[in-house]
Amino acid sequence: MSLYWVMTIFVAITALAFVAQAGIMFAMYRALMGFRREFDSWRDDLKPRLDALTQSVTEIVNNSREPIKSITANVADVSRIVRERTDYVDAVVAEITTRTRDRVVRIDEMLEDMVQKAHHTADLVERSVAVPVHEASAVIKGVRAGIEFLLGGRSPKTSDVTQDEQMFI
């Protein structure tokens, strides 16, 4: 008896659980159907708006294709022209730099040549003017010393000799 009644009680509890579960499932089904009806009404309200928006965006995209193609072509042309001008300016700057460098080298060589010629001219002037002046001075000093010796019999003072030598130093 006890096993029979226990089994009957468990079967009854299980049957009640199935019935309760079926009731809950039915309630969930009805709730979902309510949500679906509400969603369908929202969808029906939004569909014309979304269709209009989609059509508007499509028109904007279609209308902007030609201007975008034109703008893209213009940008490509401008880019090509800027590249060509930049190459030209680069070539001009390179040529100017090369010419300037060559001119500076020529000017440096000319200045170096002029300095060498000036040194050479100074050496020639010194040899052709200063040496004969020293020789003439020495001859004059010798003649003076000889005249003084003959006339006075005295030798020249050392201070006179040093003073004359200091004039040419």
> 10 Å Cβ neighbour count for 62?
9
Please count the structural domains in the chain. 1
Residue 154: phi and psi, rounded to 5, are -115, 155
Q: What is d(CA 109, CA 103) in angstroms, rounded to the nearest whole number?
A: 10
Residue-number span of the structural domain to which 159 is assigned: 2-167
Q: What is d(CA 19, CA 15) in angstroms, rounded to the nearest whole number?
A: 6
Per-residue pLDDT of the chain (169 residues; tens, 9 = 90+): 688 888 999 999 999 999 999 999 999 999 999 999 998 888 888 888 888 889 998 888 888 888 888 899 999 999 999 999 999 999 999 999 999 999 999 999 999 999 999 999 888 887 788 778 888 888 899 888 888 888 876 555 555 556 655 665 5
Q: What is d(CA 59, CA 53) in angstroms, rounded to the nearest whole number?
A: 10
Taking alpha carbons only, the member of 140, 120, 121 closest to residue 132 is: 140
Tokens of 142: 């010798």
